[in-house]
Amino acid sequence: MKPKALITGAAGMLGKDMAKALEEAFEVIAMSKKRLDITDYTQVQKSFTSIAPEAVINCAAFTKVDLCEDQSQVAFDVNAKGPENLAKACKKLNIKLIHISTDYVFDGTATTPCREDHPPNPINVYGRSKLQGENYITQTCPNHLIVRTSWLFGKEGPNFIKTMLELSKTRESLQVVNDQMGRPTYTKDLSMAVLLLLKNNAQGIVHFANSGCCTWYDLCCYALKKAGRNKVNVEPISSDRFKRPAKRPKYSVLNLERFEKITGQRPRPWQEAVDSFLIEIGEYAG
């Protein structure tokens, strides 16, 4: 009989891929916000007590970075209070907690890939709320795994690549920032990485993303080229010209060495992951 794994935020882009990936080794209980609101501790404890999972994978998050600036209370409720509730219940019932976090806990001033012990210093509400969630978990639940990732894209939800593909259908030119550097991550690859980390009983904080790094401009150009949208002109611009409510880190490239050491596997390049994603959504032109 397979051990049980409960996934929170299971209706989201990552949650859906996570549920598929974990079915290989677990009996998966996929719970959307409608079934389990992580901001309600009583509900969390009741669900965990009745289901008795061996592991909880928290994919629930308020990830709209700009909206977090205006809705900071919601951001901290979901991204900080929610993980605290999960951590309390997991500790009480001796359940392993796996939590997905973000490169936005860093301020972007690094010049080399950020290791797990690089000092966090978030520069927007989203990053601050996610860091507080991390801190609650590390302080409350000894049996935890926090997986920081970055620049997610996947079939089941809105993301940067989908947005650029949609805009390219009606526009002859696009302006994309060229001074923010990070690692794109395919939700299918992240989900398989979590499964690998669980199999290796990983603890603490681990970074995972697809290998290689790029700017949003690079990512846009590559995706449009592979989707056969070569006629669209993509203009690189600075963040200063593209005003948004939330500041973004200029450099949030994650160091992947700990993941590689634990699992013995190197994440595939982001370009290969984008190709697979475009094939999955029927947009790959070669």
Predicted confidence (pLDDT) per residue in 135-172, tens digit: 999 999 999 999 999 999 999 999 999 999 999 999 99
Catalytic, 104? Answer no
- Cβ proximity of 131 and 105 under 8 Å: yes
In this structure, the strands spanning 181-182 and 4-8 are unpaired
Q: Break the chain into its structural domains and give their ranges.
A: 4-158+186-212+252-268
Q: Does the global pTM surpass 0.95?
A: yes
- Cβ proximity of 205 and 165 under 8 Å: no
Q: Residues 6 or more apart from 222 whose CB is under 8 A from it?
A: 214, 271, 274
254 Cα distance to chain centroid = 12
Predicted confidence (pLDDT) per residue in 177-213, tens digit: 999 999 999 999 999 999 999 999 999 999 999 999 9
User: Which of 113, 70, 158 is closest to 258 using CA atoms?
Assistant: 113
**Distance in angstroms (rounded) separating the CA atoms of residues 113 and 115:** 6
Q: Kindly report the average pLDDT of the chain as a whole number.
A: 97
Predicted confidence (pLDDT) per residue in 42-51, tens digit: 999 999 999 9
Q: Which CATH architecture has domain 4-158+186-212+252-268?
A: 3-Layer(aba) Sandwich (3.40)
Identify the active-site residue in 104, 126, 136, 251. Answer: 126
Output the pLDDT for position 243. 86
